Amino acid sequence: MNSATLAASRPVPLRQDASIIGLVGLAHASSHFSHLLLPLMFPIFMKEFGLSYSELGLLMTTFFVVSGLGQASGGFLVDRMGARPVLFGAVVTIALACVVASFAANYGWLMAAAALAGFGNSPFHPVDFTIMNQRVSPGRLGYAFSAHGLTGNLGWVVATLFFATLSSLYNWRVAYLAAAALYLAILALLVLYRDKLSTTVAVRGPGQQGEHDLAFMKLPAVWWCFGFFLLSTMTLAMVQSFSVSLLKAMHGVSFEAATLTLTAYSLAGGLGILVGGVVAARLPDSDKVVATCMSAASVMLALCGTAVFGGTGTMVVLAATGFALGIGGPSRDMMIKKATPKGATGRVYGLVYSGLDVGFAIAPVIFGALMDRGQYSATFFGAALVLLLSVGAALGIGNRTKT
Q: In 3D, which of 355, 121, 148 has the Cα closest to residue 270?
A: 148
Q: What is the band of 377 on the pLDDT scale with cuts at 50, 70, 90?
A: very high
What is the C-alpha separation between 264 and 316, in angstroms, rounded?
9
Fold of 18-197: Growth Hormone; Chain: A; (1.20.1250)
The dihedral formed by the CA atoms of 242, 245, 251 and 255, expressed in degrees to the nearest 10: 130
Q: What is the pLDDT of residue 214?
A: 66
Q: How confident is the model at residue 138 (pLDDT cuts 50, 70, 90)?
A: confident
Query: Mean per-residue pLDDT for 372-378?
Result: 87
Identify the CATH number of the domain defined by range 213-400. 1.20.1250.20
The conformational region for residue 374 under phi > 0 = left, psi -120 to 50 = alpha, else beta, is left
Amino acid letter, 185: A
**Contacts of residue 32, Cβ cutoff 8 Å, sequence gap at least 6:** 151, 152, 153, 154, 155, 156, 159
Domain layout of the chain by residue ranges: 18-197, 213-400
Alpha-carbon distance 126 to 73, whole Å? 10
Lowest-confidence pick of 17-31, 39-53, 186-200: 39-53
Q: How many helices and strands, by DSSP H and E, does the chain display?
A: 16, 0
CB within 8 A of 26, min separation 6: which ones? 151, 186, 189, 190
For 253-277, what is the mean pLDDT? 83
CA–CA separation, 227 vs 336, rounded Å? 12
Task: State pLDDT tens for residues 44-96.
Answer: 888 899 887 678 778 878 888 898 888 877 777 887 888 899 999 999 999 99
pTM of the model: 0.75
Question: With bands split at pLDDT 50, 70 and 90, how would you rate the model's confidence at 20?
Answer: very high
pLDDT at position 101, please? Answer: 96
Query: Does residue 20 or residue 281 have the better pLDDT?
Result: 20
What's the CA gap between 206 and 185, in Å, rounded?
A: 41
Under 8 Å between Cβ of 104 and 110: yes
The winner for highest mean pLDDT among 186-195, 252-261, 372-381 is 186-195
Q: Residue 6 above 70 pLDDT?
A: no
Count the Cβ atoms, other than its own, within 10 Å of residue 217: 12
